[in-house]
């Protein structure tokens, strides 16, 4: 069995491997300049594993003869990205106005984490919605 691997797939696998190694290193060495080494290391390891999984999935699909990327997929991703960006700009504007008007002393870490989660969920939601629509 011959496995054909393109440069893009190899890059995704290598990037995922190095990101996972960085996460393991952060978790093991626990640098003092990182507030939460376990959470940060876990995030890096998780992101690396996701990249490795996506790379392996792409290689398997290409070996089966499935078209992984075409114009339709790029169009759907563009539409989902644009809609997500629009919503996030509005949300961030409302958040900035709210924080500017009120005197809340809010930590940045929970707000950034919440915006990150909203970004991912919004993009995934719009991607699947546009995928069914187009």
pLDDT score of 97 more than 80: yes
pLDDT band for 113, please (50, 70, 90 cuts): confident
Q: Check residue 35 and report its DSSP letter.
A: S
Round to whole Å and give the CA distance between 33 and 127. 37
Q: Which residues of 58-90 are buried (b: 16+ CB within 10 A; e: fewer)?
A: bbeebeeeeeeeeeeeeebbebbeebbeeeeee
User: Which secondary-structure segment (H or E) carries 10?
Assistant: helix 7-29
Q: Which residue has the higher pLDDT, 65 or 47?
A: 47
pLDDT band for 105, please (50, 70, 90 cuts): confident
pLDDT score of 103 more than 80: no
What pLDDT, in 10s, does the model give residues 29-55?
999 898 888 889 999 999 999 999 999
Round to whole Å and give the CA distance between 65 and 6. 14
What pLDDT, in 10s, does the model give residues 14-31?
999 999 999 999 999 999
pLDDT band for 102, please (50, 70, 90 cuts): confident
């Amino acid at each position: 069995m011959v496995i054909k691997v393109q440069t893009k797939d190899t890059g995704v696998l290598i990037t995922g491997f190095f990101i996972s190694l960085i996460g393991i290193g952060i978790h093991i060495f626990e640098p003092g300049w990182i507030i939460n080494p376990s959470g940060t290391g876990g995030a890096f390891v998780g992101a690396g594993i996701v990249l490795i999984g996506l790379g392996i999935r792409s290689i398997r699909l290409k070996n089966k003869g499935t078209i992984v990327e075409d114009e339709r997929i790029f169009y759907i991703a563009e539409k989902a990205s644009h809609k997500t960006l629009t919503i996030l700009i509005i949300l961030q504007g409302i958040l900035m106005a709210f924080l500017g008007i009120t005197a809340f002393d809010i930590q940045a870490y929970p707000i950034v984490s919440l915006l990150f989660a909203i970004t991912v969920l919004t993009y995934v939601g719009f991607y699947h919605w546009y995928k069914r629509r187009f």
